[in-house]
Amino acid sequence: MIVIFACVHNAGRSQVAAAFFNQLADPAKARALSAGTQPGERVHPEVLVGMREVGIDLAGVSPQKLTSELAADAGWIVTMGCGDACPVVPGAQRDDWPLEDPKGKPIERVREIRDDIKVRVAAFVEQNGWG
């Protein structure tokens, strides 16, 4: 099962969600990709710091565009604040997590958003039997 986490710039929320998902899910059952409708140049610096604090290094990760080709094999797409810009992926189940963008936020707020995402991802993995 491929799960895509999508947000606008693919430089914060969706990167965090995919990293936690791939850490928590059994790779034989499911794996996550992250993408954005208007990908940024790099992962937000405050997100890099927040994720390093929990032992995940996203420094080598580059935002990528959510294309129909990328989404073709997805069984799920979880959108995060891209609203009408989030694509419809035929055949994929969809959920939307209304999460605040961590870009430019103080590290304390970035930690709160990161921890909220981890709780959501853990529940999602558990509910679908991907652990």
Q: Please give the average per-residue pLDDT across 108-117, as a whole number.
A: 98
- Sequence-distant contacts of 24-29: CB under 8 A, at least 24 apart: 24/121, 24/122, 24/125, 24/131, 25/125, 25/130, 25/131, 26/130, 26/131, 29/1, 29/129, 29/130
Bridge partners, 34 (sequence order): 5
Bridge partners, 5 (sequence order): 34, 78
Contact 75, 3 (CB under 8 A): yes
Q: Is the pLDDT of residue 85 over 80?
A: no
Locate 1 and state its tokens.
């099962």
Q: Is the pLDDT of residue 82 over 80?
A: no
Name the percent of the chain lying above pLDDT 70: 96
Domains and CATH numbers, the chain: 2-127 (3.40.50.2300)
User: What global pTM score does this model have?
Assistant: 0.95
Locate 106 and state its tokens.
């103080």
